[in-house]
Each structure stands twice: as C-alpha cells, then as structure tokens.
Structure 1
Amino acid sequence: MNNSTAIGKQGLGELIRIRPYMQFIMSKMVSRFGDSMDSIAYSWMVYVLTGSKMLMGTLLAVNFLPNILFGLFAGALVDRLSSKKVIVMTNIGRSVMVGLTALLFALGQLEVWHLFLFTVLNSLLECFTSPAEVSSVPRLLPPSMLLSGNAITSSATRLAELAGLAAAGACIATLGIACTIWIDAALFAFSALLMSRVQYPEGTSAHAISSAARSLLAEMADAFHFLRKHALLLVSSILFAFVNFCLMPFNVLRTPYVMETLHADAWGLSLLSGLLVGGIILGGLWMSHWGTRYRKSVLIITGIVMVGFGYAMTAVPAYMTMFQLPMAGFFCLLMGLGIPLATTPLVSYLMEVTPSHMLGKVSALQSMLVLSVSPLGSLLSGVLADWFSMPVLFITFGVLLGLSALVLLGSKSFRQEM
C-alpha cells in the first residue's frame, strides 16, 4: 500500500492533528456559513423586489466580471503578500459591504444600482481571498495529504454551507431579510478574527521578498507560461469553463424554479440548496477516504456524468402532480454527489504540479479561465427563460454537460496523466 492510500484511509483523524490547518478550516466554515445565508437572502430579495429573471441573470453575470478582469492581477499580488493577512483584510471588507447592504435595505433605501455596486465590490474582494486560500493549503499540509485535505476542506465548508442554508429559511421567515444579512456581516468579521490566529509555518513568505523587485506584469506572464507548459491543466480549465456555462441556467433560475415550478417558498429554496450541498458533503467525505484508490481522470469523468444526469432530471418534477419538491431535492442531491468527484482531483493536481510560490497567480489564472464564459451563460439564461420553460433549459444544458465527459474520454493524455 502506498503512502497516499494510507493517508486517504486515515482521512480526518490525521488532519485533526495539524492544528493550523484545522484553524484555517474553521475560519472558512464560518465565512461559508454566512455566504450561504446571504445567497438565499439576496436571491429572494432581488426576485421579490423586481420579479425579473433577466435582472437576476445580469446581476450574477456582473458578479463574475471582477474575477475575470482582475483575478490574475490579484493572484500575482497575493503571491507577494502574506496569505493570512490577505484573507483577514478581505473578510473585514466583505463584512463592511454586506453590512451596508443590510442597513440600506432596513432603511428602505436600497436600489438596484446599490446591488450592482456591492456585488462588484464583494466579488473584487473575493478575487484576493480565493488565491490566498488556495496557496495556503500546500503551506499547511504535506504533499501526500493534499487530496484528502482538499476533500475534507470541501466537506467541512459545505457542511457549514448546509447549516447556513437551513438557517437562512428560518431567519428570513422569523427575522426578515435585513436581519439575515446583518448576521452574515457579523460572520465575516468573526471569520477574520479566527483567521488572524492561524500560525503559518516559518519561511513561507521568502519568495515574496525575493520577487519584490520583479514587476507584477512579469509575475502574471509567468502564470501564462506555466499554464501553457502544462497542457493538461489548460485543457481541463477550458472544459470546466464549459461545465460552468452549462450550470448557469440552474444557478440563475433556481429561485423562480422553486417558486413557479415547484410552488414552494423560501423554505423550499433552502431545502433544495441544502440537499445540493448535502450531496457535496457526502461526495467529499467519500473522496477523503476512498478517492486515492482511483485515478483522477476516472473520478472527474464520473463526477461530470453524475452532475449532468442529475441536472437534466431536475426537469422531471415539472411534469408531476405530487412530490415535486422531494423529487427535485433527490436530483439536486445527486448533482451534489458528483461535484467533489469532478472538481477535487483537478484542484489537487494543480497543487501537486505548481510550485508553492506560484500557486496564487496560477490558481487565479485557472479561475479566470473556468469563469470566463459564466457571465455570458448568466445573461443567456435570463434571456432564454423568456423564450423557453425552465424544465426545457435544464434538460438541454444537463445533457450538454454530461456529453462533455466524452471529450475527456477521448483524450488519451488525460486518461494516462491524471
């Protein structure tokens, strides 16, 4: 039995002994709990106030733009800075932005342009948070534990997200939207406090000092050169950009789908989102214990097929007269189970082949590629929803997503190298 398999079997028990990493996970869990609460609150607020699917698609499209336009710059800058300080400061900034949204809504002064402004600012802060978190993982874990660590991290943060989704429906129903968003603002601040207590191993910032004399443009160019040399990463990133594009109708139209097709309320939206996240948790736990027994390529292809099938089948409840919400929830659970299988191996592969001092900018560049067509998908979803029914859109894009796995099956280099 090789070392990676042994680590995979030990899973969480082995990771718990690495205190800085567990503190890091706790900070992420608090932040994700708040994220999931305001995802329900914001979505419900926008649709109730405007009733516009087009506006929801446009707002989601705008959310992706900062990452696409400035993500690589942020990643290159993060590689020069302390990852811990970046995460702390961005969480504080997000706490302020979310708090302002809650204040304006509570005062009855919140307008559509405020939503666009706060969405852009929050997304801009996330451009720095994401590469800082990615570059933190291999600094806190040994290489042999990356796959298990990423799977456990995904499961832990998704567990927090599941709890947040469950709490969101209750908070909106009992405390109102404004109070729910206030809670989220406080959670971002608490996450920053927890992150400030994480102790990184010494010597992890040495490269930031040695590279200070280099221009950020040169650092950004390094990321492009690195990705060009690793064709497998480049091809996989482009494929996952298509996967994200296919998922946009479900992401944009989930709230009207729950209200109009399933005839449910905020509790129904929380349940549906919660089952999706619950599947991700279960898939992540399976990955942490048994994922190392399989080739990454097998896991990725299987995951994409599961997500595509579950996605297409969410259209079935529209043609049922009973048990619509439970049936939709079951297929959301199936989608969730496939997501860690599809994504965790790619993240782990990125960490394995990328030098630690380049992880920030390379992960940011990959994120830019993966999200590059998401704004188009968001806008298109809002437009197509006025021409086609949501079940038809879900079937069409679910089938397209599943068929994308054929591209990977036809790639000999992908099957052999991953």
Structure 2
Amino acid sequence: MSEGAVVRKQGIGELLRIRPYVQFMLGKVIARFGDSIDSIAYSWMVYILTGSKLLMGTLLAVNFLPNILLGLFAGALVDRMSPKKVIVLTNAGRGLLVGITALLFGLGQLQVWHLFVVTILISLLECFTSPAEVSSVPRLLPQSMLLSGNAMSSSASRVAELAGLALAGALIATAGIAWTIFIDAVLFALSAICMSRVVYPTSNTSSKHENQAILDDAVNPSANAKSIFAEMMDAFLFVRKHVLLLIVSILFAFVNFCLMPFNVLRTPYVMETLQAGAGGLSLLSGLMVGGMVLSGLWMSHAGANYRKSLLVISGIVMLGLSYALTALPAYMSDFQLPAAAACCLLMGFGIPLATTPLASYLMEVTPSEMLGRVSALQSMLCLSVVPLGSLAAGALAEWIALPVLFIVFGLLLALSVIMILFSKSFRQMS
C-alpha cells in the first residue's frame, strides 16, 4: 500500500464515511455545546442567587470531588459495560437534573442546598460519561484512524464549546437564566437520542470478554468486584513504573490549583472589575476557547517540529504570564474588556501547548487496553487539589482584591516549570 493511500485513510473524508463515528461525534458535539452554555448560565445563576465568592468556590470544589474519589473506579467499571448505554443514560440523567434546576430557578424555589445536591449528582454521572466516550472511539474506528479521529473529535468539541460560549450571553440577556438552562437540558436529551442511534461494531474478542464478565458475575458476584479493584491497582502500578507520568500529574495538579482563582472568580471579575455583563463573561470564555482552537491548529501543522518538553514549558509560561496580566484592566481607565479579552486569548493558546504533547506521550507509552484506567488515574491525580484550590480562592477573595490574586497565582503558575526542568526524563522527551 502506498504512503498516499495511508494518508487518505486517515483523512477527514474517510472519517465522515464511517456513519457510526459521525453519529457518535454529533451526539458528543451537542452535549459539549450544552456544557458550554451551562458553564456560563450556571455560574451567573449561582452568583446572582448567593452573591458569595466563598460559596462559589465551595460549590466548584464539590463539583470535582466525585471525579477525584470515584473516577478511577468508574473508569474500570465502564470497561465492563456497554459504553453506548452508559453515555445514553448519563446524558439523559444530566438533562433531567439540569431541567429540574431550571424549573426550580424559574419558579423562585431554588435553594443553595439544591445546588449542592444537583452538582454532586451531575458530577457522578460525568465520572461515567468521560471514560465511556474514550473507550467508544477505538470501537468505532480502526486503529490506523485513531489519531485523526481523536484530532477531529477535539477540534469539533472546541468549536462547539466556542459556539456555546458565544451564544450563552445572548441567551441570558434575551431569554433569561431559567430558559437558558432549560435549553441546555434539551440539548443533553438530544445528545442522548443521537447516541442511542449509534451502532457499535461487534468483535469476537469483545463479545467473549463481555460474555465471560456476565458469567463470572452470575457465578460469583464478588469475583467481578475483585477483578475491578485489581485492574485499578494495575493502573497505579503502571503510573508508578513510568515516573514521568507521575511527575507530570503532580505538575498539572499544581497548575490546576493556581488556575482556581480565575476559574472560580471569573464571574465577579467580569461584573466588578470589568463592569461588564453576561456578554462579557461569554466573550472572555469564548476567546479562551478560541485561543485553544488556534493553538491546536498550529500544533497540528508545526508542533511536530519541536520537542514535546519545549512545547510544554512554553505553554505553561505563556498561560501563567497571561493569567497574571488579566489584573492589568483593573488599573486601566479605558479598554478594560479588550485588554482582558487579549489576555484570555493568550491563556487559551497556552493550554494546548502544555497539554497536547503530554496527552500524546500518555497514549504512546500506555497499552490500549489500559488507556481508560491510566488516563482516569492521571485525571484524578491532576484534579486532586482542585477542591482545596477552589475553597482557598473563594476564601481569599473575601479579603484580597481579585487583581492581586490573579497576579500572585499567575506568577506561581509560570514558575511551576522549574519543578520539571530538573527531570532528565522530561528534558529527553522528544
């Protein structure tokens, strides 16, 4: 087979000919579009309802707890279930919970404790959705098309996210928060319907595995649970063996910690520092995603010309410095929103520079049959300090000005590259 034939088989045209994958992508894009609308509307709703920065930080911390505590278990469990059923049920469940939230808020009955309950339940569902989506792609595509399929999936999700963020502010301004959140609920339901129509190809290997799992569970239910925990332990042993994965996980745990003030306090930053409305919040969030799209496009064309270690360092430094510069509009009398928007664009550009090479490295060194568990474990490690960062951000914002917080944590983020410069394995990562 010629090289040109191989290239054509990895192109977008070939991907679009695989109908189950296209249906899967459509369902995923719809859900991501709803997620991005929800991220703006929900944050705006919480701040209007509570007016408390500390409570916003606490709620965001609670949002990450299920993933940290149960993410690895959910990943191992999903490997034994039908990913299609998992995605359909979890998306339908998320739509129902979001719809209830919209109804309660519209009726004026939404209480703070409702927010915590709904947040925990939605996060629990997301613990199962993510590994199910990861395990779906190899089932729908041949191995030779996984790279192009993952690239297309990432790009499509970013575009959907960008569109949702751009639309969220307009929806809030015209339809109101309750109807905006209700639209998000409808999108999750629509995503579940699309996913239910995806036909997963069956293979003898997967069928035998599923049949054996069913038989083992029927004969000895405890054996099934024991094997799940054994598979979870395999993931720990694998990461322990590959020290660079552990170092990277620690690094990005610190990066996520430093980003929490901006993630938690973006809404009050827009309202109080920039004196802008929901449209301003959509603009900043949209430009961050836009920067990620631009960075991803650049990476796809020129990223292979640079060492992964150089890209990671450049991305983290760019992210940290542009984060610190978001404080600059607070000391400006004019053009505050455009200045903040430019900083957010640079922040977005730095994220793929830092994360994409490491994601590629993870896929290169991890056996495909362990990828779901290992990626879930790494995600759990990277998110481990997010609740602490969320709580700290909310508490500090009560007595420290937002611009000062952004400067301090942005500089700390940029300086975090020092911890990996001493790693020989990281410096040698090609």
Structure 1 pair 86/404, CA: closer, same or farther in 2 (3 Å)?
A: same
Worse-matched range after superposition: 401-410 or 110-119? 401-410
* TM-superposed deviation, 1:153: 2.3
1:38 alignment partner in structure 2: 38
Task: Provide structure 2 residue ranges, at least 5 long, that are not aligned to the other structure.
Answer: 217-223
* TM-superposed deviation, 1:17: 4.5
CA distance in 2, matches of 1:141, 1:341: 26
Q: Which amino acid aligns with 2:20?
A: P
Cα deviation digits, residues 353-389 of structure 1 (max 9, x gap): 3233322222221111010000000000001112211
Worse-matched range after superposition: 72-81 or 199-208? 199-208
Cα deviation digits, residues 104-141 of structure 1 (max 9, x gap): 11121110000000000000000011111222334444
CA distance in 2, matches of 1:195, 1:408: 41
CA distance in 1, matches of 2:64, 2:7: 36
* TM-superposed deviation, 1:411: 1.7
Q: Which amino acid aligns with 1:72?
A: L
2:206 alignment partner in structure 1: 205
* TM-superposed deviation, 1:142: 5.1
Worse-matched range after superposition: 46-55 or 355-364? 355-364
2:334 alignment partner in structure 1: 322
CA distance in 1, matches of 2:353, 2:18: 25
* TM-superposed deviation, 1:413: 0.5
Q: Paired residue for 2:372, among 354, 357, 360? A: 360
* TM-superposed deviation, 1:256: 0.3
Where do residues 44-63 of structure 1 align in structure 2 (5 Å cutoff)?
44-63=44-63
Percent identity of paired positions between Structure 1 and Structure 2:
73
Where do residues 66-105 of structure 1 align in structure 2 (5 Å cutoff)?
66-105=66-105
- Number of corresponding residues: 416
Where do residues 239-278 of structure 1 align in structure 2 (5 Å cutoff)?
239-278=251-290
Q: Paired residue for 2:231, among 203, 216, 219? A: 219
CA distance in 2, matches of 1:236, 1:405: 10
Q: Which amino acid aligns with 1:277?
A: V
1:233 alignment partner in structure 2: 245
Q: 1:76 touches 1:219 (CA, 8 Å); kept in 2?
A: yes
TM-score normalized by the length of structure 2: 0.90
1:159 alignment partner in structure 2: 159
Q: 1:11 touches 1:289 (CA, 8 Å); kept in 2?
A: no
Q: 1:80 touches 1:209 (CA, 8 Å); kept in 2?
A: no
CA RMSD of aligned residues (A): 2.3
* TM-superposed deviation, 1:232: 1.6
Q: 1:283 touches 1:338 (CA, 8 Å); kept in 2?
A: yes
Q: 2:260 touches 2:389 (CA, 8 Å); kept in 1?
A: yes
CA distance in 1, matches of 2:146, 2:390: 32
2:352 alignment partner in structure 1: 340
1:401 alignment partner in structure 2: 413
Cα deviation digits, residues 180-233 of structure 1 (max 9, x gap): 111000100111122223333432735455556442221211211121122221
Greater Cα radius of gyration, structure 1 or 2 = 2
1:381 alignment partner in structure 2: 393
Structure 1 pair 295/141, CA: closer, same or farther in 2 (3 Å)?
A: farther
CA distance in 2, matches of 1:390, 1:118: 28
CA distance in 2, matches of 1:303, 1:335: 9
2:65 alignment partner in structure 1: 65
Q: 2:249 touches 2:378 (CA, 8 Å); kept in 1?
A: yes
| Paired residue secondary structure (1:417) | coil
